[in-house]
């Protein structure tokens, strides 16, 4: 059986019955109907020659790296070889090599029973399959991180804290593997195919403990590795990558006291450096959300939620500079329900518009922070065909 695959303007005939592990069988690819019976290397003007299975595999990877990520799941139905290819990270690595990686946003808003995936301009969307968990998981707080082409969602089920991951290529949810020390309310961030998790609350039956524990998750091996613990115990903190290091900022300690310090992790030395008073000038509100932070072009930005102000961090002075007002009503909810993210060289803020406080619909604003005068622009064509509540429960950006 042969199937026709169109990549761009080039029709490719794939022999789905062929086995790439056998040297005696050939894969046939042609440019037109008249050339469909010639070997694949006719594409480089050779009439008859042998093609090694490894070369064919590399060609498959390079071809499918150009297919939109949202279409990957369909490849699993071609044959076992393509299904195995999807489960590996070869396509993702090739997309990185070819410069084809694009940002996608995953959102879960109040009242929704499943996540929605958007392109960076919010002009197209994809509803993710429903996650087969219990009501305890859906109604409780959840922590979300993306790493590689996986969306990691961690929350509390009846039996304890559980890790779910959504595999973009296969378009399905898979449970596990569990963290070494299961917990919630941690700070996290990803870099390539690794994600780092630090601090949080460990819940064991009737015990409740704020920890300084840190772990690393590898998306390729789907394994957790313990790394050196932080200097401070902290919960409800924020994590981010800046200039090659993983940072954890703010939060509360084991006595529910707000922390103004941060810590940076050096993976080479497996050590943490304490950064005192990084949030010393920021107002503290009772029961406020974790710091809303984002990184653009190696600069750290913060949404100060009590006044809806945008600030940028001066690393040398260990101080924040005010850049202007952000057009959302973050002060109404102490920062909860507002998403503040970076996408490429832009900042995004998602939530309830301060210009339309009575509206229940989600609004998205963008700006380029590295200009003299920051101007926030509303995405007018945002979310056509889908209506989401303005209160954002979870949001993360995936580069895939």
Last residue of a domain, one of 280, 314, 334: 280
Closest C-alpha to 51, from 16, 31, 59, 81: 59
Q: Is 376 domain-assigned? A: no
pLDDT class for 69, splitting at 50, 70, 90?
confident
Average pLDDT over residues 121-131: 90
Chain-wide mean pLDDT for the chain? 84
144 and 275 share one domain = yes
pLDDT class for 25, splitting at 50, 70, 90?
very low
pTM score of the predicted model:
0.83
Distance CA 146, CA 124 (A): 19
Distance CA 103, CA 398 (A): 6
Predicted confidence (pLDDT) at residue 162 exceeds the cutoff of 80: yes
pLDDT class for 366, splitting at 50, 70, 90?
very high
Tokens, residue 367: 């700006």
Distance CA 281, CA 333 (A): 21
Q: What is the pLDDT of residue 394?
A: 96
- CA distances to 14, 29, 30, 41, 60 from 47, rounded to whole Å, are 18, 12, 12, 8, 21
Q: Is 288 domain-assigned? A: no
Q: Which domain covers residue 93, as residue numbers?
A: 2-97
Distance CA 81, CA 72 (A): 14
Q: Is 326 domain-assigned? A: no
For the CA atoms of 343, 344, 347, 350, the dihedral, rounded to the nearest 10 degrees, stands at: -20
Predicted confidence (pLDDT) at residue 144 exceeds the cutoff of 50: yes
265 and 174 share one domain = yes
269 and 139 share one domain = yes
């Amino acid at each position: 059986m042969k199937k026709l695959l169109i990549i761009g303007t080039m029709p490719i005939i794939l022999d789905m019955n062929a086995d790439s592990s056998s040297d005696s069988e050939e894969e046939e690819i042609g440019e037109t109907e008249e050339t469909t019976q010639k070997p694949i290397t006719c594409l480089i003007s050779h009439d008859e020659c042998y093609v090694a299975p490894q070369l064919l595999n590399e060609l498959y990877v390079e071809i499918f790296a150009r297919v939109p990520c949202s279409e990957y799941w369909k490849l699993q139905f071609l044959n076992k070889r393509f299904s195995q290819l999807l489960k590996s990270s070869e396509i993702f690595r090739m997309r990185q090599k070819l410069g084809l990686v694009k940002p996608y946003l995953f959102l879960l808003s109040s009242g929704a029973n499943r996540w929605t995936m958007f392109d960076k301009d919010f002009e197209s969307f994809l509803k993710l399959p429903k996650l087969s968990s219990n009501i305890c998981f859906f109604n409780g707080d959840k922590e979300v991180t993306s790493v590689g082409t996986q969306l990691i969602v961690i929350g509390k089920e009846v039996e304890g804290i559980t890790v779910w991951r959504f595999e973009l290529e296969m378009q399905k949810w898979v449970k596990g593997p569990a963290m070494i020390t299961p917990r919630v309310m941690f700070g996290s961030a990803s870099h390539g195919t690794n994600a780092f998790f630090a601090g949080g609350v460990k819940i064991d039956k009737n015990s409740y403990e704020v920890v300084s524990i840190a772990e690393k998750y590898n998306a390729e091996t789907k394994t957790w590795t313990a790394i050196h613990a932080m200097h401070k115990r902290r919960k409800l903190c924020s994590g981010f990558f800046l200039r090659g290091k993983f940072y954890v900022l703010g939060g509360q300690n084991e006595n529910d006291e707000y922390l103004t310090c941060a810590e940076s992790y050096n993976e080479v030395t497996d050590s943490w450096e304490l950064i005192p008073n990084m949030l010393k000038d920021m107002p503290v509100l009772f029961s406020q959300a974790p710091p809303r932070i984002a990184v653009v072009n190696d600069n750290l930005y913060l949404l100060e939620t009590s006044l809806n102000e945008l600030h940028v961090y001066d690393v040398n002075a260990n101080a924040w500079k005010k850049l202007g007002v952000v057009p959302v009503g973050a002060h109404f909810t102490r920062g909860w329900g507002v998403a503040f993210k970076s996408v490429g060289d832009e900042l995004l803020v998602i939530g309830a518009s301060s210009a339309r406080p009575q509206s229940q619909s989600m609004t998205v604003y963008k700006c380029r922070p590295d200009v003299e005068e920051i101007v926030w622009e509303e995405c007018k064509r945002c979310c056509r065909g889908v209506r989401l509540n303005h209160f954002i429960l979870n949001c993360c950006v995936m580069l895939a």
